[in-house]
Amino acid sequence: MDQTNVAAVPPPAPPGAAPYRWRWAALFVILAAEVMDMVDGMITNIAAPSIRADIGGGPSTIQWLGAAYTLAMAVGLITGGRLGDIAGRKRMFLIGAAGFTLGSLLCGLAWSPGVLIAARVIQGAFGAVMLPQGLGMIKEMFPPKEMQAAFGMFGPVMGLASVGGPILGGWLVEADLLGTGWRMIFLINLPLGMAALLAGVRFLPGTRSADRPRLDIPGVLLAALGAFLVIYPLVQGREHGWPLWAFLMIAGSAAVFAFFGRYEARKTGRGGDPLITPSLFRKRAFAGGLLTMLAFFAPMIGLILVFNVFTQVGLGYSTLQAGLAMVPWSIGTVAGFGVAQALRRFGRAVLHLGLLIEILGMLGLLLTLHWAGLGLTPWQLVPALAVTGVGQAMVMAPFFDIVLAGVEPEETGSASGTLTAVQQLGGALGVALIGTVFFDLLGDAPMAADFDRAMQTTVWVIIAMFAAALALSCLLPRHAREPEDAPEAVPAG
């Protein structure tokens, strides 16, 4: 589903400067990269049961397919924008696109769960290098009078991708083109990636920021270690019977993040370039925004994973049927962004309404599951999933602008990067946590009725997390910044 990628960007070109000649062609290259990343994440969830059936592995294999990618993306996004400032945005975009394409090839050739998961890490890491560069290039290429039109292209393109992605994924697996089966969902990125590379070489501007920040490598390693110490035991702990080391790793992550905070504060005090501005965490609105983001994105991304396992393995849907079942959710998301835009002046109230609508959608899903049981059809899912999509978009659309209203202008770059990274971390946490709840309820030899019971209980857990997000969102500012003060946001996958 749609997510929001926000990065610190340079100021636009001086008013007297001639606009970049190939700016619209360059915009479509950037859009192609965003779509490739977004669709790849969506169709991987849909194909996960088929992947496991082919190359083996336990339930944790399905979880790691999503968690490995988002975890690598979360860590990489913190420094992706800075790499563009240091080495040039065009160069880093091309390196990221090449690495993402190579990772896709490795995914398509993977012969074991371990190789596939490692390839997903490569995809996520290079995607984190590629995606942040687009925003900076757009701000530099387009004059102010065209800026809104350029950013306006993201909405319809991402909307079409969100609707078409699940259908494409299901069709590619079922079509079994050239006998590739699920592998084609990754191999299709090869011509797309090569086209993006060739077009990028020709049309992207060669720009570099005047600001040359230094990379905080120790900070990156500490953040990566802390995140890994949370995600790994949540995914693997169930298969090992929740041994002591799983709880020690989770406790250790808290210690690592505490040390990370002290390290960043010392680095700031010495005049260095910290990974994250420590003063942000002393602001109630920003800290509340991080907690709200975790409580919202974790159940949302986790739901997508377990829903696809439930429909395909529990209900016997084909991969294409499962993809089609997701379409009402995507259409609801597109509609929800329109509703959120129309109600923008109401600020935080739109976000609250979105969470309430999403909870209503989840309650509708519960009633549908209870009423239809194992005879559930895709058509019966339409109302609940469409309502859920509307609520999801009404939360996502105003979220970044509202949270950033509580920080100082000079902190916006660091705050934006932190929010984007935590968004991805929330996705990895959701895959680990919600997936673990669902698979734990299923047991080792589940019957059909076990899937129905596990899904209903998992939905209750998701509702509780959305309710927690609603409570935490009361810490946010009431209104977003005025448009002229707010940073631009780019929807991304």
| 280-485 carries CATH number 1.10.287.70 | no
Closest CA to 140 of 3, 22, 4: 22
Taking the whole predicted model, whether its pTM rises above 0.85 is answered as: no
User: Domain map of the chain by residue range?
Assistant: 16-209, 216-272, 280-485
Q: Which CATH number, 1.20.1250.20, 1.10.760.10, 1.10.150.20, 3.10.20.90, labels domain 16-209?
A: 1.20.1250.20
Q: How many Å apart are CA 356 and CA 348, to the nearest integer?
A: 13
Lowest mean pLDDT, pick from 127-136, 332-341, 409-418: 409-418
Helix or strand run (H / E) with residue 3? strand 3-5
Closest CA to 90 of 148, 129, 121, 142: 129
pLDDT band at 9 (very low <50, low <70, confident <90, very high): very low
- Mean pLDDT confidence for 33-47: 81
Lookup: tokens for 275? 């990974």
pLDDT digits (tens, 9 = 90+) for 470-491: 999 998 888 765 544 444 444 4
What does the pLDDT read at residue 122? 94
What does the pLDDT read at residue 413? 64
Are 2 and 301 in contact by the 8 Å Cβ rule? The answer is no
What does the pLDDT read at residue 251? 92
Q: Is the model more confident about 95 or about 3?
A: 95
Lowest mean pLDDT, pick from 187-191, 307-311, 340-344: 340-344
Per-residue b or e along 310-337, where b marks 16 or more CB atoms closer than 10 Å to that residue's CB: bbbbbbebebbbbbbbbbbbbbbbbbbb
Q: How many Å apart are CA 275 and CA 219, to the nearest integer?
A: 6
| Phi (first) and psi of residue 490, to 5 degrees | -115, 115
Check for a shared fold between 16-209 and 280-485. Answer: yes
Per the prediction, the chain carries an average pLDDT of: 83
- Mean pLDDT confidence for 423-445: 85
pLDDT band at 1 (very low <50, low <70, confident <90, very high): very low
- For the chain, the straight-line distance linking the first and the last C-alpha, in angstroms and rounded, comes to 7
Closest CA to 5 of 335, 411, 424: 424
pLDDT band at 155 (very low <50, low <70, confident <90, very high): low
- Mean pLDDT confidence for 22-42: 84
Closest CA to 487 of 416, 394, 414: 416
Are 107 and 54 in contact by the 8 Å Cβ rule? The answer is no
Does the pLDDT value for residue 95 go beyond 70?
A: yes
pLDDT band at 409 (very low <50, low <70, confident <90, very high): low
Q: Is 461 helix (H, G, I), strand (E, B) or coil?
A: helix
